[in-house]
Amino acid sequence: MTLLEVHALKARHGLLTAVRGIDLSLDDGEKLALVGANGAGKTTLLRTIAGIHPAHGGRVMFDGADVTALPAHRRSALGIALVPEGRKLFATMSVADNLRVATSAGRRGRWTFDSIVEALPQLKPKLKAPAGSLSGGQQQAVAIGRALMTNPRVLLLDELSLGLSPLAVQGVYDSLATVAKAGTPLILVEQDLQRTFHVADRIVCMLEGQVVASGRTSEMTRDEVMDHYFGHRTNSPPQGTA
């Protein structure tokens, strides 16, 4: 069942068009990766789906309903959660309070404070510590946990490994594996193609705000993805195809 659909979506930063008429879909339980160079429009696309960045054209459909005009907090209440680039935690608040603040979305489900601490065990000894005092990997785990507190139906993850040590990245992806096993659909922006091929069911390549290729990870090679990444290939399948 298709849970999330993006039709001819456009988004701007001032006069710059960052997302150019993108078509995209995500099925229930699917793990989708967005890849592309810096400036390809990946972060803007996620933020527009989440309602943080306004759409300049096109539609965002969620579970059959048009949510294009809804603000971010309304989309969160419906089950769209974003783990933003840079984490955006409340640095002076405790880890526990950073998690609990997300209960304002008002959604109930399998993810509770206790189940999240169990799934992200690196947080247990840090619950009373200010979030800003944690390592980068621990902060990323808090950001994932905060999103899970909304009991999302789809999870948007932007640059999980950015600025982290290899050891911290491994810890973050170990945590993400627990989330994936729960069957939560997700869209992941990640520069590390090895991680991408390991986690995702499908890869979508973006270049200059457009989808230039997409396919199942079992049917694409790293070299093909890198060629699309740098714009060396033009024989791309239609946007949004699996």
Hey, what domains does the chain have and what are their CATH numbers? 2-229 (3.40.50.300)
HEC assignment per residue over 40-77: CCHHHHHHHHHCCCCCCEEEEEECCEECCCCCHHHHHH
Dihedral class, residue 77 (left if φ above 0, else alpha if ψ from -120 to 50, else beta): alpha
pLDDT score of 135 more than 50: yes
Residue 106's pLDDT is: 67
Mean pLDDT of 203-214: 92
pLDDT score of 185 more than 80: yes
Tell me how many degrees the CA angle 108-113-117 measures, rounded to the nearest 5: 135
**Structural contact between residues 156 and 82, judged by C-beta atoms closer than 8 angstroms:** yes
CA gap 179, 222 in Å, rounded: 25
H helix intervals, the chain: 42-50, 72-78, 95-100, 113-119, 136-148, 166-181, 193-199, 222-229
Mean pLDDT of 112-134: 91
CA gap 230, 233 in Å, rounded: 8
Mean pLDDT of 159-179: 80
DSSP state of 237: P
Average pLDDT, whole number, for the chain? 88
At 30, list the tokens.
């699917």
At 1, list the tokens.
């069942």
Per residue in 33-78, pLDDT tens? 999 988 899 999 999 999 999 999 999 999 999 999 999 999 999 9
Residue 86's pLDDT is: 77
Residue 174's pLDDT is: 82
Q: Rg of the chain's alpha carbons, rounded to an integer?
A: 17
Tell me how many degrees the CA angle 223-83-133 measures, rounded to the nearest 5: 110
